[in-house]
Structure 1
């Protein structure tokens, strides 16, 4: 890589790194605040909570990275134009296309990274987060209970008491569980209990040992008592971790003919393309006339263009999900429009118009 290319690339990578870190930090902080305000935060330990936030951030990176690159190109190249460094390079016989080449040097690896995140990391992160959510929502979540305390849920008529837990915190002793149901009440007493590790396709469950189930009828019918040695209790608040398209492997989505699966599959494949096209479009808005201290108009225009892209991106995916648009053209019409816009904005005629007013 030549010195000029390295220099321009560095001017792009620095703001890209700064903006990406800021966006990821803001997103993580926002996710943390929302999570701490939810009831699920009471059910998970600190390690699980941090894992959940990291998973959410990893999912968001496929969107945050293209945004960071878009901003970096507008800011980084904008400084070079504003300080007349591009003009100096042109006068030295260096084509302005070198700046475009430097943008591609940065945009292509970032696009590939965004694609890897979308195609491989996204489904894994969603699957892990779904499992953490289901684990946290389980009414008999072993992590939420401390020994010697009563836990109640007035809305669901549930009361739980655990007399003791072992040193590892994975086993409970002398468990009392009461739940009020329509027309009856149920009491479960068990000497031992432990929560089964949750796997995809399973409902949250807890394994009880050596106990009794008392079913008390409110209508005057006969009460019942059942003694058990082993009992698998499935919580009624946790949903089965069945097929969820966001957590589905990309290979499975590719074979599906369901509109929602097609939309998810095309979203994942489109991330690298969107990243590179956004970077190319940003080049046009980085061209600030020389000696102009600020380029507010360019920045405003860049923000408006990105907002339009964001809206159209959501519409394209929604139309495919609803079957309004078929698998072809799918979401790809948007990227055809973006390609045409990029070529138009980067055309020599447009370049000349940028510097008409100084």
Structure 2
């Protein structure tokens, strides 16, 4: 790599790293605040919550990286234009094609990294996050209960009180369980001598196994109450939603073989990440040419933000149309990137084409 290309790539990598880091931190902070507001820490524990935040941030990186590169090109080349360094480079014989080449030196590896995240890391992160979310949404989680304390919750027309007498050091076995639920028309009391919560497997609902106990069903209307004795009771602690097939967590190879519109849309979304990253970087080039010294430069930045917003909306529409069957697998979501490619080819300056053909 020549010194000019190294200089331009450095001017792009610095803002790209800064913007990507800031966006990732902001996203992780937002996710942490949302989980804390939802009492996920109580349900899962701090370590599991941090893991869930990390997984969500990994998923978001496939979107944050193209945004960061887009902003980096606008900012990095914009500074070079503002300080007249691009003019000096051109007067020294540096062509437009060399500048584009320097941008591609950064854009192609970033696009490949975004593709790897989308094709391989994304499904794994979604699968792990679905498992953690299932545990967080569970109404009961014995790991967070301490022996000798009452725990109560209230919401959606029902209240709950849980108490356990003793708990082993590993936290897997508890004894003398008291579980009371108060609903609008009835109350339920469960007493069990022992209980344990098995580890979840993929597709398995969160549950607690209660041993040797009684269930007292008390009707508020005065009708007949019921008492049930059990040796073993499996108590499902979720709302009834099983961790069934979720296409975002499905392996890319499985999506490739599917003929379902939603699977096709997800598959094409994953493959399109590298293409989108590179094309966005090239589309950002014209927005860096205007000098930011005057108001015209600020308007250019606003235009760059507007163009990205339009791309983001069209990107969502393209995927939705494929999911709904409005557009078939061909052209699928690829029509959007064909339009972006035409825009890139039209926005590149005539000097680029002249130098390209002169080299031939």
The normalised TM-score by structure 1 is 0.91
Which residue of structure 1 aligns with residue 84 of structure 2? Answer: 84
- Following superposition, the deviation at residue 349 of structure 1 comes to 7.3
2:102 matches 1:102 = yes
Which secondary structure does the structure 2 equivalent of 1:330 belong to? coil
Tell me how far apart the structure 2 counterparts of residues 290 and 242 of structure 1 sit (CA, whole Å).
52
Change (3 A) 1:179 1:327: same
Which residue of structure 2 aligns with residue 136 of structure 1? Answer: 136
2:119 matches 1:119 = yes
Which residue of structure 2 aligns with residue 308 of structure 1? Answer: 310
Tell me how far apart the structure 2 counterparts of residues 120 and 81 of structure 1 sit (CA, whole Å).
38
Deviating more after overlay: 155-164 vs 258-267: 155-164
Aligned equivalent of 1:224, options 227, 232, 238: 227
- Following superposition, the deviation at residue 242 of structure 1 comes to 0.4
- Give the conservation status (yes or no) of the 8 Å contact 2:16–2:72: yes
Tell me how far apart the structure 2 counterparts of residues 290 and 180 of structure 1 sit (CA, whole Å).
65
RMSD, aligned CA: 2.4
Tell me how far apart the structure 1 counterparts of residues 242 and 310 of structure 2 sit (CA, whole Å).
38
Which secondary structure does the structure 2 equivalent of 1:227 belong to? strand
Which residue of structure 2 aligns with residue 356 of structure 1? Answer: none
Which residue of structure 1 aligns with residue 358 of structure 2? Answer: none
Change (3 A) 1:349 1:103: closer
- Following superposition, the deviation at residue 254 of structure 1 comes to 1.5
- Count matched residues: 351
- Give the conservation status (yes or no) of the 8 Å contact 1:107–1:279: yes
- Following superposition, the deviation at residue 292 of structure 1 comes to 6.5
Change (3 A) 1:5 1:157: same
Which residue of structure 2 aligns with residue 160 of structure 1? Answer: 162
- Give the conservation status (yes or no) of the 8 Å contact 1:86–1:96: no
Any residues of structure 2 matched to 1:279-294 within 5 Å, and which?
Answer: 279-289=281-291
Which residue of structure 1 aligns with residue 280 of structure 2? Answer: 278
Tell me how far apart the structure 2 counterparts of residues 297 and 322 of structure 1 sit (CA, whole Å).
37
Tell me how far apart the structure 1 counterparts of residues 78 and 90 of structure 2 sit (CA, whole Å).
16
Tell me how far apart the structure 2 counterparts of residues 77 and 184 of structure 1 sit (CA, whole Å).
68
Deviating more after overlay: 116-125 vs 289-298: 289-298
- Give the conservation status (yes or no) of the 8 Å contact 1:5–1:98: yes
Change (3 A) 1:290 1:16: closer
Deviating more after overlay: 243-252 vs 136-145: 136-145
Any residues of structure 2 matched to 1:342-357 within 5 Å, and which?
Answer: 342-348=344-350
- Following superposition, the deviation at residue 288 of structure 1 comes to 2.6
Which residue of structure 2 aligns with residue 178 of structure 1? Answer: 180
Q: Which runs of 5+ in 1 are unaligned?
A: 353-358
Q: Which runs of 5+ in 2 are unaligned?
A: 355-360
Tell me how far apart the structure 2 counterparts of residues 32 and 3 of structure 1 sit (CA, whole Å).
43
Any residues of structure 2 matched to 1:1-358 within 5 Å, and which?
Answer: 1-154=1-154, 155-180=157-182, 185-216=187-218, 220-221=223-224, 223-228=226-231, 230-289=232-291, 295-348=297-350
Tell me how far apart the structure 2 counterparts of residues 231 and 289 of structure 1 sit (CA, whole Å).
72
